Amino acid sequence: MPIVSTKEIVDRAFADRYGVAAFNILDDLTIDAIIAAAEEERAPVIIQTSVKTVRAYGRNRLIDVFRAMAHDATIPVAVHLDHCPYREVITECLDAGWNSVLFDAHELDVADNLAQTVEVVAEAREHGAAVEGEIEGIEGKEDDIGSDEASKLQSLETAVDFIRKTGVDVFAPAIGNAHGQYKKAPNLDHQRVSDLVEATSVPMALHGGTGLSDEQFRDLIARGCAKVNISTAIKEAYMRSGLEHLKEAEEKNKWDPPTLFAFQRDAVVTTARHHIALFGGSGKAW
Ligand code: 13P
């Protein structure tokens, strides 16, 4: 299966009202585990990279590893740049072959954000790539980007106007969701998703997926959240399984890196499969 455009993956999910899981990966092990999970579920999947991961792993190395692994995949897979306020990083990733980008200019005033997003959409189109837009910050930092303060909310009219004028392919509304583990059960504005979808017919991205209830996921996906982001749950599966294995290695004084990697991979696969199935993506590969 070749690498598929993010737009095709998300539009199909939107039309059928299931959610495509977009998992933030960290390295080759996590890319491999996420693709394996999607293959086991026969689901399309989005591999998502933060700016921090692009910088830490190296842009070219990351896209090369993605391509090598996606090339052998038997399900549709795309690579997406998550929250990126930096135009030069957007350009570099589009040039390198990313299938989509989230231009996160919520810190600009809406008129400036809109004008720049129009430019990013035009740039992405030259590469056959898609753009996700946002005008309100999602609470909580995602790999050092964003803020722990709730951001100013914009009116529905402002959001609809932004979506229509920019031509973004996906929109990320702030509905009370937050990155990282929730400190208390979030009270989400489900109606906002319905209102935006009804006015624009554009799919929504649900950020801050880690810690939402099954019911919240199901209802928001039914309303049009066709891309569902999961980062913290993947990081925790990766790190906690590593810790568990290393504690045992220390106890037994037995150090075998491949066994550690396999243990971590299994943990990431299990977490990813759980979310893919929950979002209704199982069996949706084409
Ligand atoms: P979580 O870290 O809460 O899963 O959120 C992921 C996300 O929205 C990435 O943009």
Give 138 Cα–ligand 1 centroid separation in angstroms.
Answer: 9
Tell whether the model's pLDDT for residue 2 goes beyond 80.
Answer: no
**Strand ranges for 51-99 from DSSP E:** 77-84
| Residue 180: both structure tokens together | 């990282």
Q: State the pLDDT at residue 246.
A: 98
Give 175 Cα–ligand 1 centroid separation in angstroms.
Answer: 14
Active site (catalytic) residues = 82
Q: State the pLDDT at residue 1.
A: 66
**In whole angstroms, how far apart are CA 18 and each of 27, 38, 222, 223, 224?**
27, 14, 7, 10, 8
- Best mutation site among 51, 182, 207 for ligand 1 pocket (most ligand atoms within 8 Å of CB): 207
Tell whether the model's pLDDT for residue 30 goes beyond 90.
Answer: yes
Ligand 1, atom nearest to 177 Cα: 3
The CA-to-CA distance between both ends of the chain, in Å, stands at 9
Give DSSP secondary structure letters for 109-160: -HHHHHHHHHHHHHHHHHTT-EEEEESSPPBS-BTTBS-SSPPPP--HHHHH
Query: What whole-number distance in Å separates Cα of residue 28 and Cα of residue 32?
Result: 6
What average pLDDT does the segment 233-249 reach? 98
Instruction: Say if residues 172 and 128 touch (Cβ distance below 8 Å).
Output: no
Query: What whole-number distance in Å separates Cα of residue 114 and Cα of residue 137?
Result: 15
Name residues contacting ligand 1 (CB within 6 A). 24, 82-83, 142, 179-180, 207-210, 229-233
User: Which band of pLDDT confidence, cut at 50, 70 and 90, is reported for residue 125?
Assistant: very high
| Residue 286: both structure tokens together | 């084409």
**Dihedral sign computed on CA atoms, order 282, 31, 7, 150:** positive
Ligand 1, atom nearest to 102 Cα: 10
- Best mutation site among 24, 30, 34, 177 for ligand 1 pocket (most ligand atoms within 8 Å of CB): 24
- β-strand partners of 100: 80, 130
Give 231 Cα–ligand 1 centroid separation in angstroms.
Answer: 5
| Residue 253: both structure tokens together | 């004084």
Local structure of 102: helix, strand or coil: strand
Phi, psi of 121 (to 5 degrees): -60, -45
Query: What whole-number distance in Å separates Cα of residue 258 and Cα of residue 192?
Result: 47
Q: How many CB atoms lie within 10 A of CB 28?
A: 16
Give 39 Cα–ligand 1 centroid separation in angstroms.
Answer: 22
User: Which band of pLDDT confidence, cut at 50, 70 and 90, is reported for residue 262?
Assistant: very high
Tell whether the model's pLDDT for residue 172 goes beyond 90.
Answer: yes
Q: Which amino acid is at 139?
A: E
Give 284 Cα–ligand 1 centroid separation in angstroms.
Answer: 23
Q: State the pLDDT at residue 23.
A: 98
Ligand 1, atom nearest to 181 Cα: 3
**In whole angstroms, how far apart are CA 217 and each of 17, 44, 226?**
12, 18, 10
Give, using CA atoms, the residue closest to atom 1 of ligand 1. Answer: 208
| Residue 132: both structure tokens together | 């996700």
Tens digits of residue pLDDT in 103-117: 999 999 999 999 999
Give, using CA atoms, the residue closest to atom 8 of ligand 1. Answer: 207
Tens digits of residue pLDDT in 44-59: 999 999 999 999 999 9
Query: What whole-number distance in Å separates Cα of residue 175 and Cα of residue 170?
Result: 15
Q: State the pLDDT at residue 197.
A: 98
Query: What whole-number distance in Å separates Cα of residue 34 and Cα of residue 200?
Result: 31
Output the pTM of the full model: 0.97
Q: State the pLDDT at residue 138.
A: 84
Tell whether the model's pLDDT for residue 149 goes beyond 80.
Answer: no
Ligand 1, atom nearest to 234 Cα: 4
- Best mutation site among 181, 230, 236, 271 for ligand 1 pocket (most ligand atoms within 8 Å of CB): 230
Instruction: Say if residues 82 and 229 touch (Cβ distance below 8 Å).
Output: yes
Give, using CA atoms, the residue closest to atom 5 of ligand 1. Answer: 208
Phi, psi of 136 (to 5 degrees): -130, 135
User: Which band of pLDDT confidence, cut at 50, 70 and 90, is reported for residue 146?
Assistant: confident
